[in-house]
Amino acid sequence: MTKEIIKLDNISVTFEQKKKKIKAVQDITLHVNQGDIYGVVGYSGAGKSTLVRVINLLQLPSAGRVEVSGDVLYEKSAQSQQIVSTKKLREKRRKIGMIFQHFNLLNEQTVIRNVAFALKHSGLKEKEIEAKAQRLLDLVGLGSRKNAYPTQLSGGQQQRVAIARALANDPEILISDEGTSALDPKNTAQILDLLKDLNEKFGLTVVLITHEMDAVKRIANKVAVMDNGRIIEQGDLLQIFTNAKKQLTREFIGGGSAKAIATLRDFQLAKLKSDERMVQLTYIGNSVSEPLLVKLYRDFDVEANIIYSNIEVLRGTPVGTLFVIIKGTPAGQQQAIDYLKAQKVIITQIAGQKPTEGSREK
Partner 1 sequence: MSELFAKYFPNVVYQGWTGDGGWLPAIGQTLYMTFWSAIFGGILGLIFGIGLVLTDEDGISPNRNLFSFFDKVVSLFRAIPFIILLAFIAPLTNLIVGTQIGTTAALVPLSLGVFPFYARQVQVALKSVDHGIIEAAQSVGATFSDLVFDVYLKEARAELIRVTTVTLISLIGLTAMAGAIGAGGLGNMAIAYGYNRFANDTTLVATLLVLILVLLVQLIGDLLAKVFNHKNA
Binding interface with partner 1 (CB under 8 A) = 56, 58, 90-94, 96-98, 100, 102, 104-109, 117-118, 120-121, 149-152, 162, 165-166, 168-169
Question: Exposed (0-12), middle (13-18) or buried (19+): which is 16, by Cβ within 10 Å?
Answer: exposed
CB 147 within 8 A of CB 134: no
Please report how close the Cβ of residue 48 comes to partner 1 at its closest, in angstroms.
15
Of 162 and 224, the one with the shorter C-beta distance to partner 1 is: 162
Q: What is the DSSP letter of 150?
A: G
Please report how close the Cβ of residue 44 comes to partner 1 at its closest, in angstroms.
16
CB 111 within 8 A of CB 145: yes
Separation of alpha carbons 54 and 9, rounded Å: 11
* Amino acid (1-letter code) at residue 266: D
Please report how close the Cβ of residue 285 comes to partner 1 at its closest, in angstroms.
38
Of 168 and 237, the one with the shorter C-beta distance to partner 1 is: 168
Task: Name the residue among 258, 197, 249 with its Cα closest to residue 39.
Answer: 249
Separation of alpha carbons 124 and 204, rounded Å: 22
> Which spans in 17-125 are helix H?
48-55, 86-94, 111-118
Of 116 and 260, the one with the shorter C-beta distance to partner 1 is: 116
Of 142 and 337, the one with the shorter C-beta distance to partner 1 is: 142
Of 118 and 223, the one with the shorter C-beta distance to partner 1 is: 118
Please report how close the Cβ of residue 85 comes to partner 1 at its closest, in angstroms.
13
Of 178 and 276, the one with the shorter C-beta distance to partner 1 is: 178
Of 132 and 250, the one with the shorter C-beta distance to partner 1 is: 132
DSSP string, 238-284: HHHHHS--SHHHIIIIITHHHHHHHHHHHTT-----TTEEEEEEEEE
Please report how close the Cβ of residue 169 comes to partner 1 at its closest, in angstroms.
7
21 Rama class: left (phi>0) / alpha (psi -120 to 50) / beta: beta
Please report how close the Cβ of residue 124 comes to partner 1 at its closest, in angstroms.
14
CB 123 within 8 A of CB 91: no
The 3-state DSSP class for residue 162 equals helix
Please report how close the Cβ of residue 133 comes to partner 1 at its closest, in angstroms.
12
